[in-house]
Amino acid sequence: MKKVLSFLRSMKFGMILLVLVIACSFAGSMIVQQRDAMEYVRRYGEDAAQLILALGLDDVFSAPYFIVLMAALCLNLILCSIVRLPRTMRAKKALISRAETAKTDTPLDEGQAGKLCAFFEKRHYSRYKAGDRIIYFKNSIGFYGSFITHFSFLLILLVGAAAVMTADVRDQTVMPGETLELEGGISIRVDSFQIVDETGLLDYASTLTVSDDIGKTVTREIRVNEPLSFEGYKIYQQTYGTAGAVRIKNLETGVSEDMKLTEACFLTLDGVSGMFYQALYPGYVTDSDGSVTLITSTSGAYTDPVYDIVSVSGGAMTPVLAFPDETLTIGNVSFTMLDPVSYPGLRIKHMNPLVLGLLYATFVLMVAGLYLCFFAAPLAVAADDDGYVILSPKTQTGLMIELEALLKEE
């Protein structure tokens, strides 16, 4: 049992786990992820596809073995951190007592002790006397560097998982002018949506008015990189779409109504004749021979929109291409095609601000831990009349060479 425990908390086990994470990440980046089985057969052939699916390599990062691997890494980090903290404390004390007694290993000539003293003073080492030797000391906080690094890595994994699992995310399309009600009395109104085309680079922006039930209101434009934060909600400009629009008028009663067309549909009053809406195209090009080709790419602005519709009247079906402002009269009903309407797809995320703050704090902690590990390693130099010795948990080749050069200087 003891042996198992000591393996589970060992650095060796940690390194094995890290190699396995690399192997999974490699597979996950080389093999396309989360596609359907046929896609794998098409890309890699039947045998390879079978293997990929059997090993779960089509979705490595959600596969049970990857989750187990991450859990094992957390366990390893917890165990080794628990063991290491008291050891770190002891090491701190041990370094000082070692400095008081350790044998010097580099001789000092007469007069060189002063040089050494000046050098360490310039570098802001603290200094104290222990018997006939002087101990120069620096960076005792550096002892905690690797503990902080490992602990913060553990926290990033745990708090990151908590942040993802506790976030409530939903995607919603909202037409300009419409309002979306959220629980807790918060409402999001899309005032307007625009696609700005900067020579091929498309920027999508929505102007939102968000308010709560006690009268707090914020109006702001959102776009990529600029979500709106409001009372724990974050609202992102995620996607967009373009819908056709039509004004339908009953010529007998004079009643008319505007409708948005987001998918193929049959618009009719009597169930027999009417307009069948198929699609909306963003534009068209006229070839040299006068023939027209529709642009089918739906990304970007709809510069010359064309409606693809079918007029259904008395059993006859006539395909028609119509432009905005054109009117089609079928029986007693007129259909006037209007300018298309672009609308945003919003992503609305609700997150516990405490979890978010904690996550960012762990990020800062990790950078601080690494800084302490690498650039603030604890260091003691004990010097007496005969010589000096450098003591540190880290290799100090740099200081060693620097001191040698210093003492060689005339």
Partner 1 sequence: MEILFFAAIVAYFAATMLQSVGAMMDRNKLTRAARAIFIAGFALHTAFTAWRGFAAGRLPLANQFEFASGFSWSAAIMGIVLYARLKQNWVMTVSMPVAFLVLSYAAFQPMEIKELMPALRSTWFALHIGSATFSYASFAIAGGLGARYLAMLKKGHADSETAMKQTDYMTYRLICLGFLLLTVVILSGAIWAEQAWSRWWSWDPKETWALITWILYAIYLHQRMRMKWQGKRMAWFAVIAVVCVLFTFAGVNKLLPGLHSYAV
Q: For binding to ligand HEM (CB under 6 A), which residues are involved? A: 11, 14, 18, 76-77, 80, 146, 149-150, 153, 370, 373-374, 393-394
What distances in angstroms separate CA 239 from CA 164, 177, 194, 324, one per listed residue?
Answer: 21, 17, 12, 24
- Does position 119 interact with partner 1 (CB under 8 A)? The reply is no
**Which one among 35, 84, 127, 349 touches partner 1, defined by CB under 8 A?**
349
Least Å from the CB of residue 353 to partner 1: 14
Task: Identify whether the C-beta of residue 235 lies closer than 8 Å to the C-beta of residue 347.
Answer: yes
Contact positions with partner 1 (CB under 8 A) in 144-183: 160, 163-164, 169
Please report how close the Cβ of residue 243 comes to partner 1 at its closest, in angstroms: 23
Work out the end-to-end distance of the chain between its first and last CA atoms, rounded to an integer number of angstroms.
Answer: 61
Q: Which does 29 bind (CB under 5 to 8 A by kind): partner 1, ligand HEM, none?
A: partner 1
Identified binder of partner 1 from the candidate list 5, 6, 25, 168, rule CB under 8 A: 25
User: Per CB under 8 A, does 142 bind partner 1?
Assistant: no
Instruction: Decide if 341 contacts 243 (C-beta within 8 A).
Output: yes
76 contact, one of partner 1, ligand HEM, none, CB 5-8 Å limit per kind:
ligand HEM
Least Å from the CB of residue 125 to partner 1: 19
361 sits near partner 1 (criterion: CB under 8 A)? no
Does the protein bind partner 1 through residue 256 (CB under 8 A)?
no
At closest approach, how far in Å is the CB of 73 from ligand HEM? 6
Of residues 215-244, those binding partner 1 (CB under 8 A):
223-227, 234, 236, 238
DSSP string for 216-236: -EEEEEEBTTB-EEETTEEEE
Q: Is the dihedral of CA 134, 136, 141, 143 positive or negative?
A: negative
β-pair type (379-383, 133-138): antiparallel
94 binds, among ligand HEM, partner 1, none (CB under 5 to 8 A by kind): none
Residues 6+ apart with CB under 8 A from 244: 260, 261, 262, 277, 280, 305, 307, 337, 338, 340
Distance CA 118, CA 104 (A): 19
The closest of 57, 80, 60 to 68, measured between CA atoms, is 60
The least CB distance from residue 6 to partner 1, in Å, is 14
Residue 142 binding: pick among partner 1, ligand HEM, none (C-beta 5-8 Å cut-off by kind) = none
Residue 110, C-beta contacts closer than 8 angstroms, at least 6 positions apart: none
- How many CA atoms does the CB half-sphere of 173 hold within 13 Å? 11
The two tokens of residue 160 are 């990151």
Separation of alpha carbons 255 and 258, rounded Å: 11
Give min distance, CB of 15 to partner 1, in A: 6
Q: Which of 5, 7, 33, 185 binds partner 1 (CB under 8 A)?
A: 33
Which residues of this protein are in contact with partner 1, per CB under 8 A? 11-12, 14-15, 18-19, 21-22, 25-26, 28-30, 33, 61, 160, 163-164, 169, 198-199, 201-204, 223-227, 234, 236, 238, 347, 349, 360, 363, 366-367, 370-371, 373-375, 395, 397-398, 401, 404
